[in-house]
Amino acid sequence: MSGVVCAWVLGVLGVLMDAWFIVTDRRGALRRAVPLKGAASALFAAVGLLGAAGSPSLFAWTVAAGLVAGALGDVLMAARHLCEGTAKNVFLGVGIVAFALGHVLYLAALLGVGANVLATVLLSAAICAVLWPFFAKRVKAPTPLIGRLGYSYLVVVSTMSAAAIAWAVFSPSPQSVCMAIGAVTFELSDACMVLNGYSLQPGRPPRPFNLAIYYAAQLLVAASLWLPA
């Protein structure tokens, strides 16, 4: 089986696993949902790893490593629903760190291929200037430490998104555009996740929508490794 066909098979299986997880999660069967969530992320990470193996470069392997870190974060974040008390917040905090590590790896990969640094800094500052007060008024973290981790994560994912956009604008290609769309979708999914879980106000984004766009972001980032730069 060729690498492309294998990637397609893994991607389709990931989408099916994602759909199965969303249905299971919606029914409240959290114990069955945890392995499904991790399996969907692992399949998308495998698509990225295959892409990196087919066209090896520091950029590709760094992005693939970010996908693996995100898959680990998925498992940790899902596992918190099986815990109570302090353990729940520990899994949440470590999961945030794992996700942040994934985005740091994406950012390092993007800067390594020449994403415009000045544009990245300015756009990241603009995104944070909008999102920080928005969340401060609408969201309450379960603990002060989780709150600090959450805002630190916001800076990381906003900077990564800004770098991806800058790369696509200044060096447009199928790969850079796909990566930028995936990065922006990540930012949107993370915003929905925070509002869905910790908003002080009614009108939260539907959780199935949040999960669907999160996995779409993973798949877009993985798929970018198969596209020409």
pLDDT for the residue numbered 168 = 97
pLDDT confidence of 92, banded at 50, 70, 90? confident
pLDDT for the residue numbered 55 = 83
> Above 80 in pLDDT, residue 120?
yes
Nearest alpha carbon to residue 222 among 80, 24, 50 = 50
**Mean pLDDT, residues 32-56:** 90
Name which of 116-125, 127-136, 202-211 the model is least confident about: 202-211
Token pair for residue 170?
A: 């200044």
pLDDT confidence of 138, banded at 50, 70, 90? confident
| 19 residue type, one letter | A
Q: How far apart are CA 52 and CA 152, in angstroms?
A: 29
pLDDT confidence of 94, banded at 50, 70, 90? confident
pLDDT for the residue numbered 20 = 94
pLDDT for the residue numbered 194 = 80
CA angle 14, 174, 70 (to 5 degrees): 35
> Above 60 in pLDDT, residue 9?
yes
User: pLDDT > 90: what percent of the chain?
Assistant: 54
Mean pLDDT of the chain: 88
- Domain boundaries, given as residue ranges, for the chain: 3-224
Pairwise pLDDT comparison (93 vs 204), residue with the higher score: 93
Q: How far apart are CA 214 and CA 196, in angstroms?
A: 13
pLDDT confidence of 129, banded at 50, 70, 90? very high
**Mean pLDDT, residues 100-109:** 94
> Above 70 in pLDDT, residue 1?
no
pTM: 0.89
pLDDT confidence of 3, banded at 50, 70, 90? confident
pLDDT for the residue numbered 141 = 76
Neighbouring-strand partners of residue 139: 199
Q: How far apart are CA 10 and CA 219, in angstroms?
A: 10
3-state secondary structure of 139: strand
**Mean pLDDT, residues 202-209:** 79
**Mean pLDDT, residues 84-95:** 80
Q: How far apart are CA 118 and CA 212, in angstroms?
A: 32
3-state secondary structure of 173: coil
